Amino acid sequence: MADTTLKSRKPRIAVLEKDFESLTLLANQMLDRMPDVAEDLLAELDRARIVDQRNLKSDTVAMGRQVTFRRDAEPERTIQLVYPAEADINAGRISILTPVGTALLGLKEGQSITWNARDGRQHIFTVLAVSTPAPQAVEPDAVA
């Protein structure tokens, strides 16, 4: 019964249909190697409203989008939510397979979620802004 209460306290989230399919596959592939992370992601996907590209608002955290958020009372931080192969913490690209990535998925600007870190501590993540990053410029020398 407590499980239902906790789920009802989480904010509503929306996930793109194409991301839902890719993320479900990814989570299922990770069940043996990273069961806690995979189960958290599957739980989020299970409660998500699945939408197509036209119906996902620009203020919603989705794969590839940049999100500025605050964890607890810490300074705000901006990251890009990406698949594991694209992750680079030094470049601000955070994998969906991190607690931060999974917690932020599908939230809208102004929404908050309480999330347990891998060490068991609870944190509150609040989305401050969401944007689509500009395409990376190709350097002329790299095209030759």
pLDDT band at 4; cut points 50, 70, 90: very low
pLDDT tens per residue, range 12-25: 899 999 999 999 99
- The more confidently predicted of residues 91 and 8 is 91
Is 6 a residue whose pLDDT tops 70? no
pLDDT tens per residue, range 68-111: 999 999 999 999 999 999 999 999 999 999 999 999 999 999 99
Q: What is the pLDDT of residue 129?
A: 97
Q: Alpha helix locations (H) across 81-139?
A: 99-104
pLDDT tens per residue, range 34-79: 999 999 999 999 999 999 989 999 999 999 999 999 999 999 999 9
- Are 104 and 126 in contact by the 8 Å Cβ rule? The answer is no
The class of domain 2-132 in CATH terms is alpha beta
Q: How many whole angstroms from its chain centre is CA 72?
A: 17
User: CA–CA separation, 81 vs 22, rounded Å?
Assistant: 14
Taking the domains of the chain in order of start, what are their residue ranges? Answer: 2-132
Question: Token digits for 19?
Answer: 């991301």
- Are 45 and 111 in contact by the 8 Å Cβ rule? The answer is no
pTM given for the model: 0.83
Q: What is the pLDDT of residue 60?
A: 96
Q: What is the pLDDT of residue 128?
A: 97
